[in-house]
Amino acid sequence: MSTGASIKAFEEAQQLIPGGVNSPVRAFKSVGGTPIFITEGEGAYLTDVDGNKYVDFVQSWGPLIFGHRDESIEAAVIEAVKHGLSFGAPTVAETELAKLVVSFFDSVDKVRFVSSGTEAVMSAIRLARGFTGKDDIVKFTGCYHGHSDSLLVEAGSGAVTFGNPSSPGVPADFTKHTLLATYNDIESVKKCFADSSDIACIIIEPIAGNMGLVPADKEFLAELRKICDANGALLIFDEVMSGFRGSLHGAESITGTSPDIITLGKVIGGGMPVGAFGARAEIMSQLSPDGPVYQAGTLSGNPVAMAAGYAALSKLQKNGQIMSVLNARALRLVEGMKAAATECGITMQIDTRGSMFGFFFNEKPVKNFADACNSDAELFAKFHSGMLDEGFYFACSLYETGFISTAVTDEMIENTIQASAKVFKAITNG
């Protein structure tokens, strides 16, 4: 497979863009080689600048549940563009999409649109602090909630609970109110509340997608709900990645635990940049202009993004069986790859939630970030490279989730499994 044009494009990009990319994971640092530069997406496929074609299991990191260039979404965007790109004023399209989003979630009465997942989470935490009158937050190691300062933290040394900045440029004062806990470990959460009586919220990916696919245990989420209720804190479900991917009605519908605030993104924009956060009316009434908690954005509720999101969610609403179909394909994929790996003496841990799938080259089940870090990164890099050569595009990090779109057929799944068997044999034979 020739990648000369991608190599040239990457070299040029590095002269003008830090690292040659506008989001770090795209740089292929963890898998080696040169990132593939894309010219076109069509259905389940990506085509790069060298003319190579790949079955896409990334789907723009989740938004494209109907694949690239879905006709109904594309038509909605083109029609919206004809009327203008942005107004900085209210449109009916915002209300229509809000009505649709709210209809999917039992715990949401009102929603506010923003332009990214990072912005949604940042705003949700500010709202939680404003509502409770408290300052501290609890997050989990391995859960990614965007790159806002208070969330770029790493665990302190020894028994220290409070986080330290994990990126230069983030003052320690910005993270001193962020407490770190271990995913699926309720005792670590209890320790946070023992260390602070000023906790405004717990924020968690109920279906973690940024340390690989690691769903939270139902019992764990239920205990988080109890702890929040007992301490006057709010529970935030970050479903920027899992919203409309893990379940059409949110993680609450499959875990039995209801959050106080939900953050969303990805699918609700149909491929356009969109984020949102929502809650019951009592909490949302604290937002400006109704309440004192300020949040604003010039491009929030952008009419083109609203049109794309409405088209995507309307299609999901009319085709409720989609999730079970996609989950069946996701299961077939990871089970088939696991069987192929086992034949070569390679141990894989697999999981799916709705149209999301994940796998680890790990001897033990993965329940948290420490478990994920024990996976074989070198083997993943070899697998990623081999599958790319075979024409299959997987996320370029072992800490990311894969996605099935409706454009991925059963035949494509079988072809992927066969290709994985070929790659595993090549790896084990040296």
106 carries an active-site annotation:
no
Kindly name the residue from 110, 134, 266, 338 that is annotated as catalytic.
266
238 carries an active-site annotation:
yes
Query: What H or E segment, with its residue span, contains residue 30?
Result: none
Q: Which residues of 35-48 are buried (b: 16+ CB within 10 A; e: fewer)?
A: bbbeeebebbbbbb
Question: Who contacts 364 (Cβ-Cβ below 8 Å, separation ≥6)?
Answer: 349, 371, 374
Given a contact cutoff of 8 angstroms between Cβ atoms, the answer to whether 139 and 203 are in contact is yes
Q: What sign has the CA pseudo-torsion 405, 400, 42, 302?
A: positive
Q: Percentages helix, strand, coil for the chain, rounded to the nearest 5?
A: 40, 20, 40
Q: Residue written as tokens 């088209």?
A: 311
Q: Taking Cα atoms as reference points, which of 63, 47, 44 lies closest to residue 413?
A: 44
3 state DSSP class of 99:
helix
Within 83-184, where are the H helices?
92-104, 117-132, 172-175
* Angle separating helix axes 303-318 and 92-104, nearest 10 degrees: 40
Q: Taking Cα atoms as reference points, which of 421, 394, 397 lies closest to residue 408?
A: 394
Kindly name the residue from 48, 136, 238, 371 that is annotated as catalytic.
238
Rounded-to-integer distance, Cα 338 and Cα 333, Å: 9
Backbone angles phi, psi at 43, to 5 degrees: 65, -120
Rounded-to-integer distance, Cα 193 and Cα 156, Å: 16
Q: Taking Cα atoms as reference points, which of 193, 198, 144, 150 lies closest to residue 172?
A: 150
Backbone angles phi, psi at 236, to 5 degrees: -105, 125
Q: Taking Cα atoms as reference points, which of 185, 69, 63, 203 lies closest to residue 136?
A: 203
What letter does residue 183 receive in the DSSP assignment?
T
Kindly name the residue from 45, 54, 144, 399 that is annotated as catalytic.
144
Length of the chain: 430
Rounded-to-integer distance, Cα 42 and Cα 315, Å: 18
Residues known to be catalytic? 144, 238, 266
